[in-house]
Structure 1
Amino acid sequence: MKKINVVSAALVLILLTSLNAGAQIKLSDIFKKVTGKQGTTTAATGTPSTFEIGQGIKEALQIGVSAGADRLSVKDGFLGNLAVKILMPPEAQKIERTLRSIGLNKLCDNVIVSLNRAAEDAATEAKPVFISAIKQMTLTDATNILLGSKDAATEYFKRVTTTQLMQKFSPIVATSLNKVNATKYYSDLTTQYNRLPLVKPVNTNLTEYVTQKAIDGLFVEIAKEELKIRGNLSSRSTTLLQKVFGYADRKKN
């Protein structure tokens, strides 16, 4: 109760002093003088502790990987995104050109659609793998990511998640390829081609190919999110992110 009275008295005193001096003063400024509080701006500046850097990086990466994985795991997440759309395997692209030239466009299109559908199915399982990697991240990892290159987080994920993603994606892709008839379409396509005279037969491990392309696509999307939060101030949606990445900006300038 005494503390409230002291603050009230101080407010009145400062207000009267300001009025007598003919000055105009904002109530928020008076509050700052009496309480010493500076609002949220101060909290978003200054040098973050090692703990804050760790928490900030983890928060940023969880936002980024969630957004990237969610975009790819919906229908047309791969097929409708030219940056990650899965095309025919390189060794089969000559087949595609040959078959399209003789009017088998529908067969080629079916293969491409089914490859992307399989990747979209697999992408639904990506988020838990990335979240696990974030939780296991050390404070040293976090600092190196914060002050590292513009793709330091993406490279970290490539290093620590690729093997696990391959193991997790491969059976999903295999199941999905069969579910959407990709294996059949591709077999039909290669069979048609391999019947042509004087051609070198083509045999591709379709599951392995799509699994790798699905993982590559995830890293493309995560890299986009990393660039966004490093370079776009509006993407730093919390005080902690503002403080941590603002500190990184100052260190690099």
Structure 2
Amino acid sequence: MRSLFGAVMLSLLLMAAGPGQMNAGWLDQGLSVLGSVTGESKTAAPVSALSNTDITRGFQEALRIGSGNVVGQLGKSDGFNADPAVRIPLPDNLKRVRDLLAKVGLAASVDDLELKLNRAAEAALPKAKPLFVDAISAMTFDDVRSIYEGPDDAATRYFQGKMTPALSREMEPVINESLAQVGAVQAYDLVMGQYRNLPFVPDVKADLTKHVTEKGLDGLFYYLAQEEAAIRSEPVKQTTELLKRVFGQ
């Protein structure tokens, strides 16, 4: 039962990242299912007609659809780059580099670097999808109860607070590979070469992998926080017969 409830809550969390495409009532329905088992149901939900297999398959299908939505939103061309809310800027210590190069007509190379940082995040997100699935198995029943009994953004705050360190460690190799693939490493070397050719400039270094990982996760949590509230309040929109049977009112 522990693994089932872990899958229940994190799958609902992952579903929150797909704006406008998600079953908006899944989270409250999932909490009702949980509450009926714990004796702390907030709203009555008839689950006696459902087998454990039905419930498990329903949440697995929700996880598949939800994780597909979050990857589809941000893990595509301009998913990060064209969205002002989550666009990844240059690391702070490279902003002075940009200013100095702009004065000598070399700002284009810095702009290209910033674009490729976003391209790296967009390319890495689909590859990181299994990491979110792995995170499901790390949740315990106590974790689920804390989310159930917490405020409206409890799922997002739990995921961000508890899972960020582990996800960051796991995502950094994926981000590092993507930085090389999209040409961000070469763009960085070009920028720094131009910068070092300027007279009397201090040495500057940046950890691109760490920066893109942190900002990429920030973007993910930004949408999770917004969509969690929407999921709790918007009408139910089941997209398959199984989801209608498991999550329908």
TM superposition score category, shorter chain reference = 0.5 to 0.7
1:181-192 aligned within 5 A = 181-192=183-194
Distance of aligned partners of 1:115 and 1:98 in 2 relative to their CA distance in 1, 3 Å threshold: same
Shift of 1:240: 5.7
User: Is the Cα contact below 8 Å between 1:122 and 1:214 reproduced in 2?
Assistant: no
Deviation at 1:117, TM superposition (A): 1.2
Partner of 1:233: 235
SS at match of 2:90: coil
CA contact (8 A) 2:128 2:174 kept: no
Percent of paired sites with the same residue = 34
2: distance between equivalents of 1:196 and 1:176?
30
Residues 59 and 51 (structure 1), Cα distance of their counterparts in 2 relative to 1, 3 Å cut: farther
For the aligned residue pairs, the C-alpha RMSD in angstroms reads 3.2
Q: 1:69, 1:218 within 8 Å by CA — same for their partners in 2?
A: no
Q: 2:196 is aligned with what amino acid?
A: N
Q: Deviations over 1:120-157 (max 9, x none)?
A: 12211333222333344334322322331232111221
Give the aligned partner of residue 14 of structure 2: none
Q: Which deviates more from structure 2 when the two are superposed, residues 124-133 or residues 80-89? A: 124-133
* 1:196 pairs with 2:183: no
Instruction: Give the 3 Å change call, closer, same or farther, for CA 198–241 of structure 1 in structure 2.
Output: farther
CA distance 1:227–1:217, change in 2 (3 Å)? same
1:76 equivalent in structure 2: 78
Q: Which AA in structure 2 matches 1:209?
A: H
Instruction: Give distance in 2, aligned partners of 1:109 and 1:83.
Output: 18
Query: Counterpart of 1:187 in 2: which secondary structure?
Result: helix
| Equivalent of 2:130 in 128, 131, 144 | 128
The 2-side partners of 1:134 and 1:159 are apart by 15
Corresponding residue number in structure 2 for 1:8: none
CA distance in 2, matches of 1:223, 1:236: 21
Aligned residues: 198
Matched, 1:167 2:149: no
Quick one: distance in 2 between partners of 1:177 and 1:89?
Answer: 14
Q: Higher Cα Rg: structure 1 or 2?
A: 1
**2:189 aligned with 1:214:** no
Q: Residue 176 and residue 68 in structure 1: after superposition, are their counterparts in 2 closer, same or farther (change >3 A)?
A: same
Where structure 1 has 5 or more consecutive residues not aligned to the other structure, the ranges are: 1-43, 244-253
**Distance in structure 2 (CA, Å) of the matches to 1:162 and 1:121:** 19
* Superimposed CA distance per residue, residues 211-248 of structure 1 (whole angstroms, 9 cap, x where no aligned partner): 222222222222232122023234687576576xxxxx
**So what's the TM-score if we normalise by structure 1?**
0.65
Select the residue among 107, 113, 134 that pairs with 1:111.
Answer: 113
1:64 deviates by 4.7
Please give the alpha-carbon distance, in whole angstroms, between the structure 1 residues aligned to 2:153 and 2:170: 24
Contact 2:119 2:182 in 1 (8 A): yes
Which deviations, in whole Å up to 9, do the C-alpha atoms of 1:80-121 show, x marking residues without a partner? 221111111011112112323332232122101111111112
Change (3 A) 1:147 1:240: farther
Deviation string 1:13-50 (CA, Å, 9 cap, x unpaired) is xxxxxxxxxxxxxxxxxxxxxxxxxxxxxxx8x89413
Gaps of 5+ in 2: 1-28, 42-54
Cα distance in 2 between the residues matched to 1:66 and 1:222: 14
Which residue of 1 is the match for residue 36 of structure 2? 49
Q: Tell me: higher relative CO, structure 1 or 2? Use CA pairs within 8 A at least 6 residues apart.
A: 2
